[in-house]
């Protein structure tokens, strides 16, 4: 009997087949149907009835394979001697999953190969099992460093980094430019590595709603998760343990929160945390928390203030703003263009009462009718490329193209103009993107001031963010603040604050 079959009998049972099949189905949906892994995967895990450990295995296998897709394709091409576009797409996805088990997770070679061959059979690729077996054995025969040397041979500059760290070259170049704007050219490799890390869930404790008991329970959950994570690492070398943790976790997962309302280190299903299931704690990256708090806490809130979240979907920042507004006696209007996302905003804001209103429509309409309604604080969390959240939404790196940037930048500018039209005298505007691309960040700020410098002044955003943060957010002095995952463990959120002077 062949070694793969023997290995499968020893180490591969129905539970692992189920976890791998979940990962395969999600990967196929991402590739074929433009699905979002973060939305589809939890549903598939629940439908499969996976245990917590197998759910963690399926999650790492799915996200890791998507993050490292470019690198694995280069390796598979060399190992197979074929161009990637000459490999059937479903077979290629099976091998991507196998490659991640071999190179990105501590799964023993014989177990990873035999289980992946079995997965090929399960998904109907019977004729390709020999091919999958041969290719993955070649993949497993070399170390990470050896493969890096082979796939980057003859490459240099951003092309080399793009291949090594599995990012499109244009994204690497954009990130390099953004770091250079801060004179931080030597941080690019660390940033790319952080994009490929496996982030833990971060929570926001909603002010005025979350109780000390909620926070304590969540912190205990995080501590237990860290202890379990350490135990998994200690047993990862055991060949009978397939559901091992990723080789590269988030370097900042054990750091204290950078947001004053943040809790980090949660693993598994956050709904198991009592405060989350009750809605008093919300799943939200701490970078997003700081962006919302930079607006709400940039100055003392006067009772009766009117606030506007111009692009509110899916409602995470809106919920934090609503909690902040309620404490200060302000009201919030949350606007969203897409009806389905507006429904998510309504769900996120349920329970806040008459202090919040959700409206639907294009944010660019504000101020066009001359109705005279103005707002004291406006959050514009603008549609963008999402290059700042590649670790949490890894498929974005493969979907976005450089030609998308000008169209998004034009939309951002129009939304900014609408915000200025309805910003009250003395009011504050927060321009936020989950992208460090200069065309979506500093370029937009410069263009906005060129258009509206007569009525707007830039605030010392870096100082505001530092004053809000629970610890040093590591942003240079200036009128804008760019957060970075490799520095503080948040998404790469960009924040710029403005005040209307006339």
Render pLDDT for 251-309 as a digit per residue (tens, 0 to 9).
677 889 999 999 998 877 788 888 999 999 999 999 999 999 999 999 999 999 999 99
CA atoms within 13 A on the CB side of 318: 30
**SS3 at position 382:** coil
Residue matched to tokens 């991402």: 30
Question: Does pTM top 0.85 for this prediction?
Answer: yes
- Pick the closest to residue 27 from 15, 43, 40 (CA basis): 40
Residue 229 lies in a domain: yes
Which stretch, 197-201, 237-241, 377-381, has highest mean pLDDT? 377-381
Render pLDDT for 374-399 as a digit per residue (tens, 0 to 9).
999 999 999 999 999 999 999 999 99
Regarding whether 357 and 494 lie in a shared domain, the answer is: yes
Residue 428 lies in a domain: yes
Chain Cα centroid distance, residue 419: 26
* Angle (nearest 5°) at CA 423 between 422 and 426: 150
CA atoms within 13 A on the CB side of 12: 25
Residue 195 lies in a domain: no
What pLDDT does residue 249 have?
56
Render pLDDT for 125-171 as a digit per residue (tens, 0 to 9).
999 999 999 999 999 999 999 999 999 999 999 999 999 999 999 99
Q: In 51-173, which ranges are E strands?
A: none
Answer with the one of 230, 265, 283 that is the final residue of a domain: 283
Regarding whether 319 and 436 lie in a shared domain, the answer is: yes
Residue 194 lies in a domain: no
* Angle (nearest 5°) at CA 187 between 181 and 190: 140
Regarding whether 488 and 396 lie in a shared domain, the answer is: yes
User: What's the total number of domains in the chain?
Assistant: 4
Regarding whether 183 and 129 lie in a shared domain, the answer is: no
Which of 2-6, 278-282, 477-481 is the least confident region?
2-6
Regarding whether 245 and 390 lie in a shared domain, the answer is: no
Task: Give the residue numbers marked as catalytic.
Answer: 434
Q: How far is CA 257 from CA 248, 270, 274, 464, 483, in A?
A: 20, 17, 20, 17, 14
The whole domain housing 216 covers 201-283
Please give the torsion angle defined by the CA atoms of residues 421, 313, 488 and 486, in that order, rounded to the nearest 10 degrees.
Answer: -100
In this prediction, what percent of the chain has a pLDDT beyond 90?
82
Regarding whether 167 and 74 lie in a shared domain, the answer is: no
Residues in the chain: 502
Residue 226 scores a pLDDT above 60: no
Answer with the one of 283, 307, 339 that is the final residue of a domain: 283
Residues with Cβ within 8 Å of residue 353, at least 6 apart in sequence: none
């Amino acid at each position: 009997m062949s070694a793969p079959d023997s290995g499968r009998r020893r180490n591969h049972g129905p539970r692992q087949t189920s976890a791998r099949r979940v990962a395969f189905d999600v990967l196929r949906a991402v590739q074929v149907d433009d699905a979002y892994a973060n939305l589809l995967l939890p549903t598939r895990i629940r439908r499969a009835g996976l245990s917590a450990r197998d759910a963690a295995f399926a999650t790492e296998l799915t996200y890791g394979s998507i993050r490292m897709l470019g690198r694995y394709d280069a390796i598979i091409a060399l190992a197979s001697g074929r161009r990637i576009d000459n490999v059937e797409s479903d077979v290629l996805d099976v091998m991507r999953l196998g490659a991640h088990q071999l190179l990105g997770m501590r799964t023993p070679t014989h177990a990873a190969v035999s289980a992946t061959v079995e997965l090929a059979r399960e998904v109907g690729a019977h004729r390709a099992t020999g091919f999958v077996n041969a290719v993955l054995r070649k993949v497993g025969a070399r170390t990470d460093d050896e493969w890096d040397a082979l796939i980057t041979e003859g490459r240099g500059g951003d092309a080399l980094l793009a291949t090594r760290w599995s990012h499109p070259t244009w994204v690497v170049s954009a990130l390099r430019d953004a770091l250079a704007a801060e004179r931080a050219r030597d941080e690019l490799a660390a940033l790319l590595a952080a994009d490929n890390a496996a982030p833990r869930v971060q929570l926001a404790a909603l002010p005025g709603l979350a109780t000390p008991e909620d926070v304590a329970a969540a912190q205990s959950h995080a501590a237990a998760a860290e202890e379990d994570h350490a135990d998994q690492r200690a047993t990862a070398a055991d060949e009978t343990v397939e559901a091992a943790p990723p080789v590269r976790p988030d370097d900042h997962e054990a750091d204290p929160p950078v947001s004053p309302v943040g809790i980090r280190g949660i693993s598994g299903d956050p709904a198991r945390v009592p405060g989350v299931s009750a809605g008093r704690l919300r799943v939200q990256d701490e970078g997003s928390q700081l962006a919302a708090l930079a607006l709400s806490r940039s100055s003392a809130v006067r009772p009766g203030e009117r606030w506007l979240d111009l692009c509110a979907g899916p409602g995470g920042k809106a919920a934090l703003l609503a909690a902040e507004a309620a404490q200060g006696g302000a009201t919030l209007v949350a606007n969203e263009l897409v009806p389905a996302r507006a429904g998510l905003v309504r769900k996120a804001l349920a329970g806040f009462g008459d202090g919040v209103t959700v409206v639907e429509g294009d944010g660019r309409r504000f101020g066009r009718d001359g109705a005279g309604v103005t707002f004291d604080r406006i959050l514009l969390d603008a549609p963008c490329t999402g290059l700042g959240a590649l670790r949490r939404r890894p498929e974005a790196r493969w979907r976005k193209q450089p030609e998308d940037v000008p169209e998004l930048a034009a939309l951002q500018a129009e939304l900014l103009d609408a915000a200025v039209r309805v910003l009250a005298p003395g009011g504050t505007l927060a321009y936020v993107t989950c992208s460090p691309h200069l065309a979506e960040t500093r370029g937009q700020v410069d263009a906005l001031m060129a258009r509206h410098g007569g009525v707007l002044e830039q605030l010392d955003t870096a100082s505001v963010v530092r004053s809000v943060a629970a610890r040093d957010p590591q942003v240079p002095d200036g009128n804008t603040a760019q957060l970075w995952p490799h520095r503080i463990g948040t998404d790469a959120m960009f924040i710029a604050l403005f005040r209307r002077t006339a």
